[in-house]
Each structure stands twice: as structure tokens, then as C-alpha cells.
């Protein structure tokens, strides 16, 4: 995590240098605000990665003398395919159309969206991928 912290810290420093230069040259408040927020976001991620790097033991990726074989093994849990995100996105599209067309469509989309969201949240409690 140290390498990630340094990369994000370098990005934060870069955007901190670019933001005032952009403000002086362009005078655009919107772009300047976006660059300032980007600076803060990169700094936040760098801070988080730095704190986590101090809390966890050294990973093979963080040591220069590490061997490739040290990184072998299980990397984590990766969920299988799921149709629920597609259905949630379609329900959200109906909700957005409901705001433009009529509240009756918004209510239908919200109901369908609630069912889809519950299906997505409780996906690992039933069916083939139950734990």
C-alpha cells in the first residue's frame, strides 16, 4: 500500500500546483473548484492508503526483494455474475423517466427498484450462491 499512497500523494501535489496556475491563467471558477476538489480527493486517498499501509503487514508487492511465488494463493472473494445490477439500473431509468413523464411512473419505478435492490442485497442468502 505504500506505493499506492505515494502515487496518490504525487497526484495530490500535482493538482495542488496546477489549481492556482489554472485559476490565474483561465479565471474559470468551475474548473478551479474541480481541480481543488480533485486535490482534496487525491490527498484523502493518499492519507487512507498510508494509514492502511502502516496497519497491515508488508505485502510482497511492497518489498523489492520479494519473489513472485510469495504472491501466489487466494487473493480474495470475487462475486460471480449477477443480473441484479442490470435490473436496478432499469428500475432507476424508470424512476428518472417518471420524474419527467409523471409521478405515477415514478411510483411504479420506485416499487420495482425496491424489489430489485432487495434482491441484489440478499443475493447471497438464497439460490445457488447462498452462504
pLDDT one-digit tens code per residue, 53-90: 888 877 777 777 888 887 777 777 777 788 899 999 99
Residue 107, all three cell numbers: 411510483
Q: Which residue has the higher pLDDT, 16 or 130?
A: 16
The single-letter DSSP state of residue 129 is: T
Residue 61: per-residue pLDDT: 73
Cα-based distances in Å from 73 to 51, 62, 68, 76, 112: 25, 17, 11, 9, 41
Is the pTM value of this prediction over 0.85?
Answer: no
- In the chain, pLDDT over 90 holds for what percent of residues? 60
Q: Read off the pLDDT of each residue in 16-25 and give the average, rounded to a whole number.
A: 96
pLDDT value at 39 more than 80:
yes
Within 1-131, where are the H helices? Answer: 2-26, 29-55, 84-101, 103-121
Averaged pLDDT of the chain: 89
Amino acid at each position: 500500500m505504500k506505493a499506492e499512497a505515494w502515487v496518490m500523494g504525487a497526484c495530490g501535489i500535482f493538482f495542488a500546483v496546477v489549481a492556482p496556475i489554472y485559476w490565474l491563467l483561465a479565471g474559470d471558477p468551475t474548473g478551479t473548484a474541480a481541480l481543488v476538489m480533485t486535490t482534496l480527493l487525491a490527498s484523502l486517498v493518499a492519507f487512507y492508503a498510508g494509514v492502511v499501509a502502516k496497519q497491515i503487514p508488508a505485502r510482497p508487492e511492497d518489498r523489492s526483494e520479494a519473489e513472485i511465488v510469495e504472491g501466489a494463493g487466494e487473493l480474495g472473494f470475487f462475486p460471480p455474475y449477477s443480473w441484479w445490477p442490470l435490473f436496478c439500473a432499469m428500475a432507476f431509468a424508470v424512476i428518472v423517466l417518471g420524474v419527467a413523464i409523471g409521478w405515477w411512473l415514478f411510483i411504479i419505478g420506485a416499487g420495482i427498484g425496491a424489489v430489485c435492490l432487495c434482491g441484489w442485497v440478499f443475493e447471497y442468502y438464497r439460490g445457488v450462491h447462498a452462504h
